Amino acid sequence: MKKLVVLMLAMLVASSAFAVIDPDDNMLGMYLDMTADTVCGPAAQSNVYVILTNPTYPEVNGVEFGFDVIGGPMYVLSTTWPADAVAIGGFAGNRGDWATGFAAMPTTEATVVCTMLALPLGPASIVMGANAIPSASPDLPAILVFGEVTEVGLSTGIGNAALALGTACEDIVATEKASFDSLKSLYR
């Protein structure tokens, strides 16, 4: 019985240690899942999660970021923020800008700060950066921690894009598939 308990604990630790695709501390990115693993998907209506990964702070009180959609067009049908959030900004054309404050939210390895329901009408890449009127760096997003604006890094998934929807993903999948097929042929 002891061996089973130890094995189960080891599996739990191993799975949580690799739950986030970006290993760096204090990174902000866009993902198609709440565990910050998926940066590539179909050009279809889906939830896009803005996630602070591997935060070194016990809590966060706000976030500020901007993003551009390349390709598309894409519509943001709705946004969901943490409880008591005050969000300033929006999405127009192919540009989104947000500055948001909210009650102290405890952080985890993958802290979801915003959920957007996105509808791309064609293949698109989303590139994140600073808000149009940044409080910190002109190039990087920021978080609010203990009343201080702190810049965070950008978590990119494919090239300099945070997220890819449609053709960009199909090209990557096709390349991986060809590589895997050639690897399989070595063992036949």
Task: Give the pLDDT score at 173.
Answer: 37
Most distant pair of Cα atoms in the chain: their distance: 61
pTM above 0.85, yes or no: no
pLDDT tens-digit profile of 6-52? 334 344 444 344 457 788 999 999 999 999 999 999 999 999 999 99
Q: What is the band of 95 on the pLDDT scale with cuts at 50, 70, 90?
A: very high
Give residue limits of the domains in the chain. Answer: 25-179
Fold of the domain built from segment(s) 25-179: Immunoglobulin-like (2.60.40)
Q: By C-alpha distance, which of 36, 92, 97, 94 is closest to 65?
A: 97
Note if the bond before 73 is cis, omega within 30 degrees: yes
Q: What is the CA radius of gyration of the chain?
A: 18
Q: Which of 34-43, 106-115, 159-168 has the lowest mean pLDDT?
A: 159-168
- Residue 55 confidence (pLDDT) above 90: yes
**What DSSP designation does 154 have?**
E
Q: What is the band of 139 on the pLDDT scale with cuts at 50, 70, 90?
A: confident
Buried-state track 5-35, b at ≥16 Cβ within 10 A, e below 16: eeeeeeeeeeeeeeebbbeeebbbbbbbbeb
Our CA dihedral for 32, 38, 42, 45, rounded to 10 degrees, sits at 0
Please, what is the average pLDDT of the chain? Answer: 82
Q: What is the band of 156 on the pLDDT scale with cuts at 50, 70, 90?
A: confident
d(CA 36, CA 96): 20
pLDDT-above-90 percentage for the chain = 62
> CB-based burial of residue 157 (10 Å sphere; 0-12 exposed, 13-18 middle, 19+ buried)?
buried
